[in-house]
Structure 1
Amino acid sequence: MKKTLLAGMMALSLIACKNDATTETTSTGDTSLAFNNVLDNYYEDGLKLNPLNATMSGDNRYNDKFPDALSQSHKDAVKTYYTSYRDSIQQFNDSDLTDTEKMSKEVLLWDIAINLEGMEFKKDLTPIDQMWSPHLMFGQLASGASAQPFNTVEDYRNWQQRVDEYLVWLNSSETNMRKGMTEGYVLPKSLIKKIIPQMDAMTEPSIENHLFYKPVANFPDGITEEDQNIIRTDYKNMIEGKVIPAYAKMRDFLQNEYLAAGRDSSGYSDLPQGSEYYDYAIKLYTTTTMSADEIHQLGLSEVARIRKEMEKVKEQVGFKGDLKAFFDDVRTNKKLMPYSNPEEIIANFNAMHETIKPQVDQLFSLQPKTAFEVRQTEAFREKSASAEYNPGSLDGTRPGIFYTPIPDATTYNVYSDESLFLHEAIPGHHFQVSLTQESETLPQFRKTLWYSAYGEGWALYTESLGKELGLYTDPYQYFGTLGAEMHRAVRLVVDTGIHTKGWSREKAIAYCLENEAESEAGITSEIERYMANPGQALSYKIGQLKIRELRDKATQELGDKFDIRDFHKEVLETGCIPLALLEEKINGWIEESK
């Protein structure tokens, strides 16, 4: 799909969609039924192609499936899926649809178009990286502490079947990476070095200590001892005879062949079609048609603005050196590393939750029912992981989980933890994702859609609510939120720099060290993250700036009629949508509220 067509789709008139979940025009019953059947089928057929999405949503029908998404037959099926539903949905006239249905039509068309365009590139020749690829999620599922259920004998058998299919995908990954070596699609050496120990961790020779053994080390009540013994034996054989050899094969390939073929450059511009892919990635992750140069310049402007705010905090705490020296002080200040064990860090996050609870009602009339937990990131992926939110199940039986990596509690720096909690937990991702999943008005396919510009933009926007929620009373914690915002502003500069301006990994790291207080190890991990997944890091700031712009506009135009709770409800009730659709909706709400 060409850029002009996508831009045109995003610019379609959506005046009738201005109150997606609240104001409805009428549609004929037959049309509405037929339209919503298409949406339901789109969702259901999508789960068959992506069964992990079902599992993560708490839908257990496909817990034994892991299709080889790298196979030509699967790619053909995916393309047919998108094109057939595009043709079906275009048969419905907007004049016959309700406001919610019209919004859903636009979202579905955008979703289909962006996915079809992505299939034009050869991203599948680099199917594994250190942060984003399926082997990491699969490790989480294997632990028995994530979305894959281990409650019945059938659950345990489902996992065995899923492991078999996953190992087919892992083998196909090596085949594709070998093809990539011949066609010039390879990862940077610095990323390959991070993947090797991840694979090696899965070759643990002591079966009882292996990650994949954990589900049989913790049987639930209700499984007989006889079944436990049978399953335990089967899992030992699976790990010893299948899992360990497959991971050892991948590790050896990476170590002995792929590393030598890895590239010394950092950006996608050095790959075939790399520049074109980056333009696509900007579209995918920002849901805009901004250019790389526009984003780079915006980043430079935001960095300069935030530095001025940081200078004020530096003066407030009485630090005498320059800003870079203050960054160094914050990174190494032992007063900001007060903990000795991970449990204390988790308890601190839970205390933040208690602090903000009384204020949340003042800002949000719409709040989720889904439970919430804070957990330490699992050891096998902790060294390469960032803090993250994993959604709860659609039915609310599995809580939303905020994972935070704590490789060493004694060196864990707390200066940005309040903004981190707001972003990943409440009212950030937990509110945004859970409310979408709990919605009684959105069609099913929209409850699991993820557009990074909206989702990450919302989470970054919520960091600015800290003072309104009773946080940021400590100047270092306020500096932390400025640092978190700076971190996202810097991304606009370094991501575009790496992928369009020839910046090296080292130049990008140096720029970050000059402008933010993150540790060098943390910055290095972040830069390598951007190298692995171009464009994703742009979504946070682009989305945040748009939501903040819409709030400022509503505040100015509505005056005394502006209610922050209503604004947040308007933003949250539609779930993830492209930013152009969100802007049209909020503009309609402003006009109606006048």
Structure 2
Amino acid sequence: MQTTRSYCLLTISAALLCACGTRQEQQGSSAAAADSLHHIVDRYYDEKMQLFPIEATFNGEHQYDGTLNIDISQSFRQHEDSVETRYLQQLQGVDTAALTPNDRISYDMLYRELSMAKEGLQFHDDLMPIHQFWGLTLTLAQLGSGTSAQPFKTADDYHKFMQRMKSFAAWADTAIANMRKGMATGYVLPKALVVKVIPQLKDLSKKDTGNIFYSPLKTMPAGTDTALQTAYRQTIEQDVLPAYDRLRTFMEKEYLPKARTTSGIGGVPDGKAYYAYLIKYWTTTNSTPEEIFNTGQQEVARIRKEMEEVKNSTGFKGDLPAFFEFVRNDPQFKIFKTPAQVLDSFKAIENKIMPGVKRIYGHLPKTGFEIRQTEAFRAASASAEYIQGSADGSRPGAFYVPILDAKKFSYVGMESLFLHEAIPGHHFQISLQQENDSLPKFRRFSWIGAYGEGYALYCESLGKELGLYTNPYMYFGRLSDEIHRAIRLVVDVGMHAKGWSREEALKYMLDNEPASEAEAIAEIERYMAIPGQALSYKTGELKIRELRKKYEQQLGSQFSLKDFHDELLRDGCVPLSVLEQKMKRKFEK
């Protein structure tokens, strides 16, 4: 006869066996879900590199260096859509409840990337494939310089880029055909942008050894066959230069007369819906244009108040617009004579901040870093920018500075600019992300503007903690850069959703920051070319500042800025909602 005690023991044993079995089943389920997801994200990354070989080159995936897909063709876009549909279907088979937090981030990010890319194909950016700010016409020239991501170390490297140059001729013809379709449907660039594109195309079509495409001929490996030199030169002169010239002629003769007079994307047939999509894409939020516009106005008012305080601290007697004019034009702020002096001054900022950076960041990138002058062919329409290095460290990250005239280059904004574009801004964030081999490749090389640009703008606020902004004019430069990003919320929405003209946007910008007219024009035309992108900076920065303030208040003396920054950067680019959740897991245990 079974006793009560033995029955209880048997019951407990059965329960333990059941629990153990349940745990094993759960572990098996988790492992299966993770394994399934890992296979999907790895295959997706490989297939994406085949689809977008230029992106692969920048990512250090050099097996596609000889390829240039005609990504603006209808057949390519149909194929891209089918690829994205296939991976979305595969993700539906993953048990998300069984994923680890990091794998759930991967799942959510891949789902978002595929969904957004698929949704974007409904719109017609392929009918406006060229503008003055970025795109293949400029990227190919950067790659062809011999100093960018495209390697030129072996004869095979040169042959690969020759293939790309030949493919570009086909891309250019497709671009012309697409733009003719756009002319027929009202899907065209604003005139103000077209007149900036034409000189770029003209410069890149010149049969002149000063043309950047000839640069790799000067650095061919020792003992290179003269036949390769001849073939490379012929490819430039028979394929690339004529393609750029065809584009220039078309843009000048046919396209310019048909370009639109409106400034915002609302001027194209589906512009309102397209702008709503671009807001969602660039900010990773569901904010409406009106909400963004109002936030921008509030931030402009707040920063103007602090600007007034800084102005008064200098003893300046005029109003804020007069102080803008003073900071813009007074000779005391123009201390350089040569581009080299400008670059050396940025290097001095780097040396000054590094001890402080090491105090508030636990993890520093291994990737090297350089400061370079922006190439002449694109400097007139360029902003300062960071170009990522390679994940293996063979190519350093580069901070590019456009210097049209060193004698007119103001030192006022240099400190905040360096913090944003270089250290600890883009160089740290992008390099640490690429170096993190615990992330799947599609995350190591992903870019989400609200996070990436928001973080870089947040870095500008670290200046005082890093020993900068000791000069009130330098701090005013930091405020000028911050209000510049707040102004973007107003003028971007103003042009693209409220029907503002280029001139109205210019006036608002010049009324609220000490930019020169030339700088303001370049900026406003940038927003005209890439609607919504300018919204990402302030949107992301406000979220990061909100999170830091929250955990400083919650944790008090236990708050570690070093831990906050390391966690902020640990998982690379993520949508803002994902960022909020992962910071919560870390600091609200």
- Sort the TM-score into its range (normalised by shorter chain): over 0.9
Structure 2 CA distance for aligned equivalents of residues 543 and 31 of structure 1: 31
Please identify runs of 4+ aligned residues in structure 1 that moved more than 6 A: none
- Tell me how far 1:32 sits from its aligned partner: 2.6
SS of equivalent to 1:374: strand
Q: Which amino acid aligns with 2:304?
A: R
- Tell me how far 1:440 sits from its aligned partner: 2.7
Q: What is the aligned partner in structure 2 of residue 32 from structure 1?
A: 34
Q: What is the aligned partner in structure 2 of residue 369 from structure 1?
A: 366
Structure 2 CA distance for aligned equivalents of residues 396 and 588 of structure 1: 32
- The answer as to whether partners of 1:82 and 1:116 remain within 8 angstroms in 2 is yes
- The answer as to whether partners of 1:26 and 1:98 remain within 8 angstroms in 2 is no
- The answer as to whether partners of 1:216 and 1:231 remain within 8 angstroms in 2 is no
Q: Is residue 527 of structure 2 the alignment partner of residue 530 of structure 1?
A: yes
Change (3 A) 1:31 1:291: closer
- The answer as to whether partners of 2:403 and 2:409 remain within 8 angstroms in 1 is yes
RMSD, aligned CA: 1.3
Please, which of 478, 489, 509 is the counterpart of residue 481 of structure 1?
A: 478
Please, which of 499, 509, 514 is the counterpart of residue 512 of structure 1?
A: 509
- The answer as to whether partners of 2:37 and 2:107 remain within 8 angstroms in 1 is no
Q: What is the aligned partner in structure 1 of residue 9 from structure 2?
A: none
Q: What is the aligned partner in structure 1 of residue 379 from structure 2?
A: 382
- Tell me how far 1:422 sits from its aligned partner: 0.2
Please, which of 420, 428, 440 is the counterpart of residue 443 of structure 1?
A: 440
- The answer as to whether partners of 1:376 and 1:406 remain within 8 angstroms in 2 is yes
Structure 1 CA distance for aligned equivalents of residues 284 and 34 of structure 2: 28
**439-448 or 462-471: which moved more?**
439-448
- In the superposition, the TM-score normalised over structure 1's length comes to 0.93
- The answer as to whether partners of 1:129 and 1:195 remain within 8 angstroms in 2 is yes
- Tell me how far 1:316 sits from its aligned partner: 1.0
Q: What is the aligned partner in structure 2 of residue 77 from structure 1?
A: 79
Q: Deviations over 1:337-382 (max 9, x none)?
A: 1111000000001100000011012110121111100000000000
SS of equivalent to 1:468: helix
Q: What is the aligned partner in structure 2 of residue 7 from structure 1?
A: none
Q: Deviations over 1:503-562 (max 9, x none)?
A: 110011011110001111000010000011110000000000000000000111111211
**483-492 or 230-239: which moved more?**
230-239
- Tell me how far 1:28 sits from its aligned partner: 4.2
Q: Is residue 560 of structure 2 the alignment partner of residue 563 of structure 1?
A: yes
SS of equivalent to 2:326: helix
- The answer as to whether partners of 2:168 and 2:243 remain within 8 angstroms in 1 is no
- Tell me how far 1:27 sits from its aligned partner: 6.1
Change (3 A) 1:26 1:402: farther
- Tell me how far 1:406 sits from its aligned partner: 0.3
Q: Give matches, 1:98-113, under 5 Å.
A: 98-113=100-115
SS of equivalent to 2:133: coil
Q: Is residue 380 of structure 2 the alignment partner of residue 392 of structure 1?
A: no
Please, which of 178, 189, 192 is the counterpart of residue 176 of structure 1?
A: 178
Q: What is the aligned partner in structure 1 of residue 89 from structure 2?
A: 87
Q: What is the aligned partner in structure 2 of residue 63 from structure 1?
A: 65
**87-96 or 360-369: which moved more?**
87-96
Q: Give matches, 1:130-209, under 5 Å.
A: 130-206=132-208, 208-209=209-210
- Tell me how far 1:194 sits from its aligned partner: 0.2
Q: Is residue 535 of structure 2 the alignment partner of residue 544 of structure 1?
A: no
Structure 2 CA distance for aligned equivalents of residues 587 and 82 of structure 1: 31
- The answer as to whether partners of 2:165 and 2:236 remain within 8 angstroms in 1 is no
Q: Deviations over 1:437-482 (max 9, x none)?
A: 0113211110111110000000000000000011111111100110
- Higher RCO, 1 or 2 (CA under 8 Å, sep at least 6)? 1
Q: Is residue 487 of structure 2 the alignment partner of residue 490 of structure 1?
A: yes
Q: Which amino acid aligns with 1:58?
A: G
Structure 1 CA distance for aligned equivalents of residues 33 and 448 of structure 2: 28
Structure 1 CA distance for aligned equivalents of residues 556 and 471 of structure 2: 31
Please, which of 100, 122, 125 is the counterpart of residue 123 of structure 1?
A: 125
SS of equivalent to 1:209: coil
SS of equivalent to 2:553: helix
In the alignment of these two chains, the number of paired residues is: 564
- The answer as to whether partners of 1:27 and 1:98 remain within 8 angstroms in 2 is no
Structure 2 CA distance for aligned equivalents of residues 548 and 298 of structure 1: 15
SS of equivalent to 2:466: coil
Question: Which segments of 5 or more consecutive residues in structure 1 lack a partner in the other structure?
Answer: 1-24
Structure 1 CA distance for aligned equivalents of residues 406 and 150 of structure 2: 29
Structure 2 CA distance for aligned equivalents of residues 526 and 429 of structure 1: 20
- Tell me how far 1:30 sits from its aligned partner: 4.2
Q: Which amino acid aligns with 1:585?
A: K
Question: Which segments of 5 or more consecutive residues in structure 2 lack a partner in the other structure?
Answer: 1-26
Q: What is the aligned partner in structure 1 of residue 44 from structure 2?
A: 42
- Tell me how far 1:235 sits from its aligned partner: 2.0
Q: Is residue 282 of structure 2 the alignment partner of residue 280 of structure 1?
A: no
Structure 2 CA distance for aligned equivalents of residues 203 and 124 of structure 1: 23
Structure 1 CA distance for aligned equivalents of residues 258 and 270 of structure 2: 19
Q: Which amino acid aligns with 2:354?
A: K
Structure 1 CA distance for aligned equivalents of residues 160 and 57 of structure 2: 12
Please, which of 255, 261, 264 is the counterpart of residue 264 of structure 1?
A: 261
Q: Deviations over 1:231-257 (max 9, x none)?
A: 221122122222221111111111111
Q: Deviations over 1:412-440 (max 9, x none)?
A: 11110100000000000001000100113
Q: Is residue 301 of structure 2 the alignment partner of residue 304 of structure 1?
A: yes
Structure 1 CA distance for aligned equivalents of residues 299 and 375 of structure 2: 34
Structure 2 CA distance for aligned equivalents of residues 33 and 26 of structure 1: 10
Q: Give matches, 1:206-225, under 5 Å.
A: 206=208, 208-220=209-221, 223-225=222-224
Q: What is the aligned partner in structure 1 of residue 419 from structure 2?
A: 422
Q: What is the aligned partner in structure 2 of residue 295 from structure 1?
A: 292
Structure 2 CA distance for aligned equivalents of residues 492 and 317 of structure 1: 29
Q: What is the aligned partner in structure 2 of residue 13 from structure 1?
A: none
- Tell me how far 1:29 sits from its aligned partner: 3.7
- In the superposition, the TM-score normalised over structure 2's length comes to 0.94
Q: What is the aligned partner in structure 1 of residue 19 from structure 2?
A: none
SS of equivalent to 1:375: strand
- Tell me how far 1:210 sits from its aligned partner: 2.4
Higher-Rg structure is 2
